[in-house]
Chains A and B, each alone.
Chain A
């Protein structure tokens, strides 16, 4: 995964450069001088919150023009029904589909400050994947920036939903959402009650080098959710969130289930079975290899709960009949 990012950084712009060789004329972005159409904040007192960088952020009222700089933030905004207040997104924000029609303001290869300013946002919602330098730059330009820290537990994720709700004036919707997410989790917990056996799980993040692939280590949501879904994450013993594991070690541990979080990059059960040396794994021999939508567990937004449910169904299909 890490490597994929690095490779993507190098290759994607190259490809894009080849494809779009003659687009050097500037793309006019319609400036919308509607920035001053804040609601006459009578019912809504100003909001003051402390963000993930210990900055004090004050809004005169709910933000009406939000630029989201992280896919999880975009998903949160739409989930609490603030989607109509979003005016820009980062290039990786591809969910929900409605977000795709929003203009992008950059992403991995860098953010475009001009494009952000031209959108006249009254709130820029940064996330854990954004750099403090970017926050400082935007702050320097006089924009209101809220840095939403990466949550480490589901509870913290709920708190993030409530925070974004306060910033955008959707507290009621967020409360309803959090309740339904909690009951969804409770339903999974209840289904897993009669659990008698927890399979060992190898969750693959990147296997560019099949002899030492990357897996999810302790502290990651993958680790947390596999545990909650009634599995034992073999990466939990490793030392970092994105940890490299050798094939030798993998053969010794011999996980019961293989989950391909890198299936979006083209990994399939067939390809795994064909990797030299992987045929000795029990999971390969018994066909316990599954593709998985990594976005459900890598983006710290409300879909983590869907990720939990999907993992639980995958690991314990008998309990979800």
Chain B
């Protein structure tokens, strides 16, 4: 399965790549376009048929008057005889509306093509070249957009007459700035992506970069906008027709305008072409939106829903965090993602648990399952998650929220996004205390100062008045730790707390977290992709693979005697500072398993050097000895595998 599917214009970062696991991309072909798209497509097809073949179709002569044809009377109501009725002169309104499809499409298509092409060319050049070219283009676009285009149209049309050519030229010119603007924005963002640098580094000329690298990627947003632009042209034509500046041809705008005089008694004469115009505009807008959505997978709307199944079991030893037989399933358009697949873990007060896994292993989903935060997803959880005696899956909402606010502290990967950029540090620290514990403002402020000192922030009085952007990455992470500690939680959840930080800062933050956790007798869950991080800072470790815990036990024991083949492979694939340069690393072939379609048997079987037939068919039972738990048919022998050093030299 492809881990990452970038949208054509969206900037894809490593963090997003990880997040993509929550919203696995479906194949484009299988992604649903929806009923609305098919309505839009059907309507547009119908229009095209009418426009192209109108003379071949067995409709009445649109110009023939009812007197002569003896078929349609003046202002005849719509009936089986004349579907859309007759107009004020007894002409068949249906034939006239069909007649209007051709000018609508000719104008719409030519204006969209000319405006779209010229506008895009200007936009992509300006967004890529930047500098003076860009500044000048932007100013010109802004002037154009500020200029009342309709007034210009009226003025010019009044002097140049009603030919379709004049109309097309004028409309094309006025539509250029719109295209130029969106394409410029898209190109600007695209040209910051590495593939543009890569092409330049390879010696590609500017023209080549524009054509080969940027143009194909702006094609989709342009196409999407073109449909909406098309609709705008039809609206504009209607508006002009209404003030008597229509074309010589029969257009919908003209039909509407003609009928308005008699709208009181014979509403259908105006209303029917108006409805056709409305449906056409709607169809083009819907088609444009569908195209955009098709290429921005993140917009695929899933209903936000959080369900719970099954019954809770008991927490035998009064652990602060007790997770038992937890299953978390994300219902996505691509199918059910089995993100957490039968996980049991527990952490007692004063203990730290490391949860280690690669991207897509489900380690972050375990954390999210504890707090019930799944962004925009439809999720079902079953099993037990108990925090400080509260059933987080089934307790009343108020109690769950209270537990989240007072018993759980969270430290996330990116301190900059965890903090609100427009609020001072002070308000962000004191708010949770005032909300959840009813502390007075003065007391909360005192405590905020105390907390900042505790997490090692110099000059805390000054820092309280500052905003997050004024702090370094390490200082921001200290602030989020201070916020997490504000209500003296019993459980601290840290999700990759040092991944975004430099190595010297990482060391400081880990020591700080670990020190506070022990001093305050908190239970801590430290989620990380880096085995080395958990080594000195946790009491127990759970290795996660394919949504399951594959090995679980005391940290020193796991590092000394890893049994599951995945754990062993993970340890061996880390470059070792004790080995000489150019040592060949032991790798894990293949890629992580799909959580969308889990394979039977052991999840690691496909990549495991020791796998045999049974591994592919039968899920291994759990083996346990002295708190060391693992699931493997053919576990590694008990011989120390070196990762850095023997674990006991580091253990606290």
Asked if A pairs with B, the answer is no
Binding site for B on A (CB under 8 A): none
Binding site for A on B (CB under 8 A): none
